[in-house]
Structure 1
């Protein structure tokens, strides 16, 4: 039996907890950091992704040696501070945090990218005038509002509130209650209903993908699955089973590599199930994760 615990699907998250070395949900920004301007590292980036599901986040990728970065930084901090909690500024030193830099494909800096519900939004590159910064940030906030991300961070408080979490939508709460009770079928039904009512509910879509993964692996035998996959390398079902178990165990690159190799070898008319499973697993791990970016790029090259 695989060691998979349905309770590992954390409240409000969109990724399996084993996929990222994320801090706890109530982890605080670095001591002494302003509440609206936080320094982000490779280790704490997952926390910022989660924050962006309720509050728009502007990411400033910079370096100590970069003169234009030092010109732009104070402008961004001033604009964000004046918005009084409607947006958070996450500052990333690209030299010290190469994983985040790679996730955003930061080929030149300063690079400013927005995050809305965990998804990146290109804003601008280079040191631009303050008026242009204000205009772009305003457009970014309008985009966030269109996607329902309109939360705020109380000025003067930590970006992640020490108090109780806001209540979940009823169907989300029902799903998490069902997961805690071990009733994965009921959890899946609740997430499916949430998606039917709101097709743009990314948290419900990711939650449903988590539950389906747990359903597929909860009674699986890893040793037997690997033996079957080794014996039948072109058997789609056998390879999908091992990829699921790898994902559940946190072996993300192994899972992606297995499915992409299989996709490359299959005839075009047999590739559909593999592509669908890859897209589902991309959703689980997170579109900004470097492993997903690499795998998605390879999948695109295989398609075209």
Structure 2
């Protein structure tokens, strides 16, 4: 994933767009990457609904993609691919499709330097993600990494599916499950031990709660890596490849850094070359990382196949 410094950090200035709300376009109105929008988690952003979309980022992330089919057709393809992939993540983020030709004032308000540009907005604040057009498979991997970073920060809210391309009534708000609030609040305050304890309560009460299991697994990764020096950890792992604890620690750090495949591959190799208690420890640790990422993730599915091959 390409990341570059954002030249104008800070909260989005909505002053240029403050005006009485206008009637929302119908769901079939032209706009966005593909007319009315083909995903329940993508919305065509206009000057009328821009502020509402940004306000939705207060509880779940919004990814704004700025594109122009006339000036740069490939940027339109990026918008289409983001719209397509948004459904796979089931509300972990909302894709806002901004056609800068149709809505130039939005581009001006955001002070967009060039297209394409994808910006993540959380709590009303923008963070740049990419300025390049990626093949859809690479884009899927990049989005998986982004969602993992959100989870590591305690951001686990979801958007409700949208039937049209434009947000509707005020009731169409992002869903925040209050069960996860204590753990998320603890993560936000940097109290990782409390977050682990809160997630553990949820898992104990309902072992089938996938969100709680993933939250607990990721909180434990954060707990294990607190205060760890990355360079020292890598040096220790390189110096003693048979030290399972050293290898699992680097795998944790790789996961947090977005290098998911590297984390999985490292532990698969540990499983392959060890036996007995060491193999069990490495396998169980890897299963915990699978849970942190999400068992339906393609990288996890591939990792499980590699683990099965290493075991048998």
Higher relative contact order (CA 8 A, sep 6+): 1
* Secondary structure at 1:271 match in 2: helix
Question: Displacement, 1:160?
Answer: 10
Aligned length: 187
Aligned: 1:215 with 2:254? no
What TM-score does the superposition give when structure 1 sets the normalisation length? 0.52
Aligned: 1:33 with 2:29? no
Correspondence for 2:205 among 197, 201, 211: 197
Aligned: 1:233 with 2:272? no
Alignment of 1:16-31 (within 5 A): 30=33
Check whether the contact 2:41–2:86 (CA below 8 A) recurs between aligned residues.
no
Correspondence for 2:87 among 48, 52, 56: 48
Change (3 A) 1:153 1:239: closer
Change (3 A) 1:213 1:31: same
Change (3 A) 1:286 1:45: farther
In structure 1, distance between residues paired with 2:198 and 2:160: 28
Question: Displacement, 1:32?
Answer: 2.8
Question: Displacement, 1:273?
Answer: 1.1
What TM-score does the superposition give when structure 2 sets the normalisation length? 0.51
Q: Corresponding residue for 1:292?
A: 300
Question: Displacement, 1:157?
Answer: 5.6
Q: Corresponding residue for 2:174?
A: 165
In structure 2, distance between residues paired with 1:287 and 1:275: 15
Unaligned runs of 5+ in 2: 1-31, 43-78, 93-134, 142-158
Question: Displacement, 1:291?
Answer: 2.4
RMSD: 3.6
In structure 1, distance between residues paired with 2:219 and 2:231: 22
In structure 2, distance between residues paired with 1:222 and 1:289: 26
* Secondary structure at 1:172 match in 2: helix
Check whether the contact 2:254–2:260 (CA below 8 A) recurs between aligned residues.
yes
Once the two structures are superposed, residues 30-79 of structure 1 have per-residue CA deviations (whole angstroms, 9 ceiling, x without a partner) of 463356668996645663244278xxxxxxxxxxxxxxxxxxxxxxxxxx
